[in-house]
Amino acid sequence: MVLTGKRALVTGASRGIGAAIAGALAAEGADVAITYEKSADLAGRVVGEIRSKGRNAVAIRADSADVAQVRASIAGAADALGGLDILVNNAGILRLAGVADIAIDDLQALLDVNVRSPIVATQAALQHIGEGGRIITIGSYFADRIPSHLVGVYAATKSALTAFNKALAREIGSRGITANVVQPGSIATDMNPTEGPFYEPLRALAVNGRYGTPDEIGDAVAFLASDRARYITGTTLTVDGGANA
């Protein structure tokens, strides 16, 4: 187990990719705090599974669109776990709309949850994370290739994260903390279900013609969180089954 003794916070981890990341970090020995917005029961289930593996775990309700709640969740996680070594900025939302006609409320929500929240969480986490620490932010393969006009603004929020990550890596490198982005391809979750009009064209983009699983993102994050990835920083790992190849 490569993360024994590490303490991690994964945002938006009551279900989907975040829940798998939390499980993957715990499987490698980390204690894990998770945040969620609405799904208290599901968050409790994730915490229960981690505790059943003998690790410490806690769920904190925190709306990523609310700066005060984001800051409080970082402080709460560090308090519950006795410190913080790893932050995974995973919480994100998708609003399907074109650039030309997206409603201002949807634009604001995307910016608040997908861009402002990872930056605010990182600011707060850096008060706790020290040498050997990790900040891993979940972007999207849509940052590099936009297959539908309906994901344009969402893609722009994810593209912002790669510039943020490069700047962050430079700022914190001397502290022995790495910063990286993981860009999932199409992963079967509530956000990107395997039924409906988008499934078939997105599935066909991957070189082997299948959606990824949340666990396949969890494995990539667990690697970047480990000491084996100590020289990897300021970069992007795209885990998309070759869809952008």
* Non-local CB neighbours of 82 within 8 Å, separated by 6+ positions: 7
Smallest distance from the beta carbon of 150 to ligand NDP, in angstroms? Answer: 14
Kindly write out the interface string for residues 92-131 of this chain, putting x where it contacts ligand NDP by CB under 6 A and - elsewhere: xx-------------------x------------------
Task: Report the alpha-carbon distance of residue 46 to residue 69 in Å, rounded.
Answer: 21
Active-site hit among 154, 199, 211, 231: 154
Lookup: tokens for 239: 């885990």
One-letter amino acid identity for 56? N
Our finding on whether 16 is near ligand NDP (CB under 6 A) is yes
Q: Is 154 a catalytic residue?
A: yes
φ and ψ at 109, to 5 degrees? -60, -45
Strands (E), the chain: 7-10, 31-36, 57-61, 86-89, 134-138, 178-184, 235-239
The residue (of 132 and 210) whose beta carbon lies closer to ligand NDP is 210
Between residue 189 and residue 228, which ones bind ligand NDP under the rule CB under 6 A?
A: 189-192
User: Binding of ligand NDP at residue 28 (CB under 6 A)?
Assistant: no
Contact code string over 30-69 relative to ligand NDP, x by CB under 6 A? -----xxxxx--x--------------------xxx----
Residue 166: Cβ within 10 Å count = 17
164 near ligand NDP, judged by CB under 6 A: no
Residue whose token pair is 């997105």: 202
Q: Does 237 bind ligand NDP (CB under 6 A)?
A: no
